[in-house]
C-alpha cells in the first residue's frame, strides 16, 4: 500500500481511509493508483476518508481530496469525509470557491 495511507474494509461496501504522517498530498499520482486498486479489489461502493488527525486543510490538501474524489467517481465509488476538525473545516471554508465535490459527514456512525 502507499505510504501514509491505511485502508480497511469496514463492511457493506465501505472502505475506511486513515491518512498517516507519511501522506504527501502534494504527490497524488503516487497514491491514487494503489488506493483505486484496493477499492476495486474489495468491491467498494464508498470510501470513508477519516480526517480526525488532519489539523489543516489548505489548497494542497484540498487539491489532493478533489483528485481522489474524481478518481473514486470514475470508479463509481462515493467518497465521504468524516471527523473533520473544526480548525480544518474553517480552513477548508476559506479555500472553497463553491460546494465541495465530495460528501462530508459528522462521523462514521452518521453515514446512511
Q: List pLDDT tens digits, range 47-76.
A: 999 999 999 999 999 999 999 999 999 999
pTM over 0.75: yes
Round to whole Å and give the CA distance between 17 and 84. 13
Q: Which residue has the cell 470508479?
A: 75
User: Which of left, alpha, beta for 43 (phi over 0: left; psi -120 to 50: alpha)?
Assistant: left
Output the CA–CA distances (angstroms, integers) from residue 56 to 8, 19, 86, 94, in the order listed.
Answer: 23, 13, 9, 11
For residue 29, what pLDDT band results from cuts at 50, 70 and 90?
confident
Amino acid at each position: 500500500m502507499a505510504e501514509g495511507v491505511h485502508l480497511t474494509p469496514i463492511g457493506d461496501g465501505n472502505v475506511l481511509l486513515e491518512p498517516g504522517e507519511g501522506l504527501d498530498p502534494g504527490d497524488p499520482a503516487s497514491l491514487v493508483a494503489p488506493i483505486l486498486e484496493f477499492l476495486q479489489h474489495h468491491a467498494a461502493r464508498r470510501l470513508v476518508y477519516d480526517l480526525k488527525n488532519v489539523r489543516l486543510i489548505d489548497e494542497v490538501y484540498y487539491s489532493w481530496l478533489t483528485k481522489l474524489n474524481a478518481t473514486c467517481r470514475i470508479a463509481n465509488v462515493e467518497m465521504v469525509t468524516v471527523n473533520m476538525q473544526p480548525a480544518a473545516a474553517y480552513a477548508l471554508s476559506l479555500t472553497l470557491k463553491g460546494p465541495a465535490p465530495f460528501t462530508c459527514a459528522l462521523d462514521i456512525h452518521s453515514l446512511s
